[in-house]
Chain A
Amino acid sequence: MLRRTSLTAAALLAAGALLLTACTGGGDTAPTETGEPDPSAQLTVGLVLEPTNLDIRHTSGAALEQILIDNIYQGLVTRTEDNEIEPALASEYEISTDGLTYTFTLNPDITFHSGDALSVDDVVTSYTEVKDDESLIGHGDFAGVASIAADGDSTVVITLTEPNQNFLFALTGPAGLVFKAGDETDLKTGANGTGPFLLANWIQGDSIELTRNDAYWADPAGVAGVVLQYIPDFTAGVNAALDGSLDVLTAVDPNLAPQLDGESGFTLTTGKTTDKGTLAFNNAKAPLDDVRVREALRLAINHDELVAAIGAGQPMYGPIPELDPGYEDLSDVVGYDPDRARELLDEAGVDDLDLTLTIPSFYGTTVAQVLVSDFNEVGVTLEVNQVEFATWLQDVYTNKDYDLSFVLHVEPRDFGNFANPDYYFQYDNTEVQELYAEALATVDADESAALLAEAARIVSEDHAADWLYNGATLTAVGTGVAGFPVDSINSRLDLSGVTVAE
């Protein structure tokens, strides 16, 4: 078994190395257009993860946010590919020096897809609903909101009970979206937003079709329509790109990427993400409640080799990724040292350690294979338990019944999970909790980031989890397509600036 897995790992490693070489030529920007953009062009984009329904107010999920926010629905503010906050429906915003009052000025002449004009009341109603209705996604983000009120015809004022560094960022998510007050649209299948695209058609299990909103209040979209084609199988996605059915393929499997370079008419871009490939330790369960055991497990993992096997991304040594405030290179905390790992396990008195890794089945086998082989080296036997995501949610997330778990945590700015002892990591450190609370309540952004960095270092030194890698997202962009977003596209895919040349 050991022999076979290390062989597989070696093969994956070779493929990954090939890919990394292949990628360097591609650069990090979308290719420039070759001809004049054609405003009547149709763009077909292949994606992996399909939303289960379109009701972004009641259903959580990155797939939903990725497509609907910015394209169909908009909030007062939005975020760029680098996670910088910028105004959207609001032309400008002001935060009082005490960090408690947020004043937003609305852009003029904004209409919903239904043709109705957007008013400050729509904003106040939408936000009040989030604050009051527990079943709405983002309700928790509004916990510290004291009041939401209109001031005149174009100003909305939100006051908080205490300063919250994350509040404005939360407004870039589902909590901050503005809906028409009293709208009757069935949000599960229809949409009435203010964005540059209209929802034209949704064939469940197949595709979502968007058309340009010609009455859009800002610069209209560069293409007449977009078909978002959902292809869950990575190989099928590459085949679809090769047979000419797609203009762009997102979330390309790194190990299949070489097929989509150059000659095939595609250019690969590598985008940054806030995806944290998190190997969760059940901090409350023996023997993982012993910090020596957790450190040993981290020391046993060859992160560079793992990243190479996955084929994209970079090693990560702490809970905060580069795109989030508070990032710091923590590679000094832990390295690859199997000998030290064995010593630590001896010190902790755990011989012949048997652990189970619970992993949702859609992540494939690469991560598990590398971990099995790395842990084997230090005398830890890892049993891999592949489960459906629904099962993972129940067993691991809700019941916290697991040893080790692997999940890609994609949300930006989610460090708070390590300051929440009830979260499934069950990591409980009052110092971290205090630092995090302080970071949230600090009005100055740089000061707040410094506090987050301090807390993140403690979390990493406590080995509360292992961050196997910070994911990168590969996109294959076809000839003639320009302006396709590169970074953070698995949580936001703003298509308004994309053009297709003839």
Chain B
Amino acid sequence: MIRDTLARLALLLVGLIVASVLIFLTLRVLPGDVAQLIAGTDGTPAQVAAIRERLGLDEPLPAQYLDWIGGVLRGDFGTSLLTGTPVMDELLQKAAVTVPLGVMAMVVALLIAFPFGVLSAMARGRASGTALNVGAQALAAVPVVWAGMMLIVVFAVWLGWLPAQGFPRSGWDDPAAAVRALLLPALTIGIVEGAMLLRFVRSATLQAVGEDFVRTAAAKGLTRNAALVRHGLPTVGLSVITVLGLQVAGIVVGAVVIEQLFTLPGIGRMLVTDVGARDLPKVQGELLALTGFVLIVGFVVDLVHRVLDPRQREAT
């Protein structure tokens, strides 16, 4: 078990290094550079060259990479070329919007997926079960942007219950206002992600119904549903944890889109702006932090899974 965990940890580190190289190189393929953007359409080539030199962009690529990754290992994610502020500071500031948004979206997704997924499995073959399943399929296919626009039209523009965009400038000093600002965006991501998760919960539940130990419990006199709830659902929960790890990546992607739509000053929106501005040190830091986050969540989920699932523990 310990040896296996260490091996997985090593794999995580290799993953992070590979990701850092890929991030660094793919960004270098993008045409256009920040020096040109700073100089604007009035800038002369000499001016652009001067700015490029000032920003250290004329260094060879390996030197730039080592400079960057060396900083990261010391906990220094570098400085934004445009704003001059440390990337880490801006990341933390924006994470105060994106992380709560992701958590809220996840809660919404689970609140939808778990009960309705199990219900849909238990009602299989009946009209209600089919309706739930079809509804979930349809919802899961909805583009996040469209779902967001619908929610804005209904809850912000028609009913006026929730703000259509923006995050309080005072941030979390006013928690109620902050939560209100995140509610519609979290619902948007949560509903779509929840619908996808629902189908997974449904099939995991159906599978559990067929498991020997559930059948045994039922044979011992429990009703099929009671056997499922008491013995089957824990295994469903376990598999859902694994899928949740994968969903984190989906929620990060959803956040990029949703933060644009709701004008939330989060990591997703910062990323889009910074790529457009070719503020590469900042984009590198942001992407590495996000990739690292997703990889670490995957690692932790894996670990939790092993601890909780006796079968996996025995297998290793």
Interface set of A (CB-CB < 8 Å, partner B): 50, 52-53, 58-61, 134-135, 137, 139-140, 186, 188-189, 201, 203-207, 209, 227, 229-233, 235-236, 239-240, 242-245, 388-395, 397-398, 411
Contact = CB atoms under 8 A, between A and B. Distances in A.
A203 B160 contact: no
A232 B124 CA distance: 46
B183 to A, nearest CB: 14
Interface of B: 30-34, 36-48, 50-51, 54, 82-85, 90, 94, 149, 152, 156-157, 160, 163-167, 169, 260-263, 265, 269-270, 273, 275-279
A245 B160 CA distance: 11
Contacts of A243: 156-157, 160, 163-165
A60 B43 contact: yes
21 contacts: A52-B279, A60-B38, A60-B43, A134-B46, A137-B42, A139-B47, A189-B84, A204-B83, A205-B94, A205-B270, A205-B273, A206-B169, A206-B263, A231-B166, A232-B260, A233-B260, A242-B157, A243-B160, A390-B36, A391-B31, A393-B32
A245 B149 CA distance: 17
Contact of B169 (A203, A232, A393): A203
Contacts of A392: 32
Contacts of B30: 390-391
Q: Most chain-A CB neighbours within 10 Å: which of B31, B47, B269, B273?
A: B31
Nearest to A409: B41
A457 B110 CA distance: 67
B169 A394 contact: no
Given A135-B50, A390-B32, A393-B36, A236 B262 contact: yes
B278 to A, nearest CB: 5
B276 A205 contact: no
A219 B236 CA distance: 70
A235 B149 contact: yes
A243 B50 CA distance: 46
A271 to B, nearest CB: 23
Contacts of A209: 169
Contacts of B37: 52, 389-390, 393
B31 A390 contact: yes
B263 A233 contact: yes
Nearest to A229: B166
Given A209-B169, A243-B156, A388 B164 contact: no
Nearest to B149: A235
A245 B169 contact: no
A232 B263 CA distance: 8
A389 B265 contact: no
Given A52-B82, A52-B277, A236-B164, 7 more contacts: A52-B37, A135-B50, A204-B270, A205-B269, A243-B164, A389-B37, A390-B277
A3 B5 CA distance: 61
B156 A52 contact: no
Given A59-B38, A135-B50, A231 B83 contact: no
Given A60-B41, A188-B83, A204-B265, A390 B46 contact: no
Contact of A60 (B40, B54, B269, B279): B40
A467 to B, nearest CB: 17
Nearest to B51: A135
B263 A231 contact: yes
A186 B84 contact: yes
A135 B31 contact: no
Contacts of A390: 30-34, 36-37, 276-278
B88 to A, nearest CB: 14
Contacts of A231: 165-166, 263
A139 B47 CA distance: 10
Contacts of A140: 42, 44
B261 A233 contact: yes
Of B33, B48, B165, most A-chain CB atoms within 10 Å: B165
A52 B276 CA distance: 10
B164 A60 contact: no
Nearest to A388: B276
A389 B278 CA distance: 10
B166 A240 contact: yes
B9 to A, nearest CB: 35
A45 to B, nearest CB: 13
Nearest to B34: A390
A392 B279 CA distance: 16
B84 A239 contact: no
Contacts of A411: 42
A240 B164 contact: yes
Given A140-B42, A206-B265, A236-B261, A134 B50 contact: yes
A394 B37 CA distance: 9
A275 to B, nearest CB: 14
